[in-house]
């Protein structure tokens, strides 16, 4: 018998590729973790299943035990969601925030950092004054503001958000989309 003629069978380990949403003790969605980590948190008592949803989770089987793993769990200990500092302004973090794209023309080549208000004009080296710019736009703008150079910014620069807040916003947006469908 050839493999092509056999009916498609799911691999029993496919369930291990699933992810579980983790909520803080205060019900703030914090992150997604793999199902193995969720099992460890549930078995060790550091998390509990959230049962307010109708969605069934997954069954994970071992030779002697069957675990029912929910799609969402809540930590039972206070989380460290408040212990986060805004990262320092540096090249890597600014490039990440601006998605490796020039904030003047949209190019992704030869990227540098640019001070929106030049330091020589009193501009600070801060999150709301530093953007990603390609070498061409940076030299074209020179020692001028974007208004003086006639080069508007594609987005206003700002400090990055707390990762938990970013995840929570994305999570609730996805929930709204699912409810609309």
Token couple for 149? 């150079």
Q: Which fold has domain 91-149?
A: DNA Binding (I), subunit A (1.10.30)
What is the share, in percent, of the chain residues with pLDDT greater than 70? 88
Q: Which residue has the tokens 């050839």?
A: 2
Write out pLDDT tens, residues 90-132: 999 899 999 999 999 999 999 999 999 999 999 999 999 999 9
How far is the C-alpha of 48 from the C-alpha of 60, rounded, in Å?
16
Cβ-count burial 81-114 (b if 16+ within 10 Å, e if not): beeeeeeebeeebbeebbeebbbbeebeeebbbb
Write out pLDDT tens, residues 131-150: 999 999 999 999 999 999 99
**CB neighbourhood size of 70 (10 A):** 20
Query: pTM higher than 0.75, yes or no?
Result: no
In the chain, domain spans: 17-77, 91-149
């Amino acid at each position: 018998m050839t493999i092509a003629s056999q009916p498609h069978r799911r691999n029993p380990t496919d369930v291990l590729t699933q992810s579980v949403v983790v909520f803080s003790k205060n019900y703030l969605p914090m992150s997604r973790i793999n199902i193995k980590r969720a099992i460890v948190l549930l078995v060790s008592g550091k998390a509990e299943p959230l049962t307010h949803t109708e969605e069934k989770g997954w069954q994970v089987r071992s030779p002697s035990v069957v675990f029912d793993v929910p799609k969402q769990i809540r930590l039972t200990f206070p989380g460290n969601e408040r212990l986060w500092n805004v990262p320092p302004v540096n090249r890597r973090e600014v490039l990440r925030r601006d998605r490796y794209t020039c904030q003047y023309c949209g190019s992704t080549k030869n990227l540098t950092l640019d001070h929106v208000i030049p330091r020589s004009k009193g501009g600070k080296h801060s999150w709301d004054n530093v953007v990603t710019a390609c070498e061409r736009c940076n030299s074209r703008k020179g020692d001028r503001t974007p208004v003086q150079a006639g080069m508007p910014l594609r987005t206003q620069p700002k400090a990055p958000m707390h990762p938990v807040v970013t995840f929570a916003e994305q999570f609730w947006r996805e929930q709204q989309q699912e409810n609309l469908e």
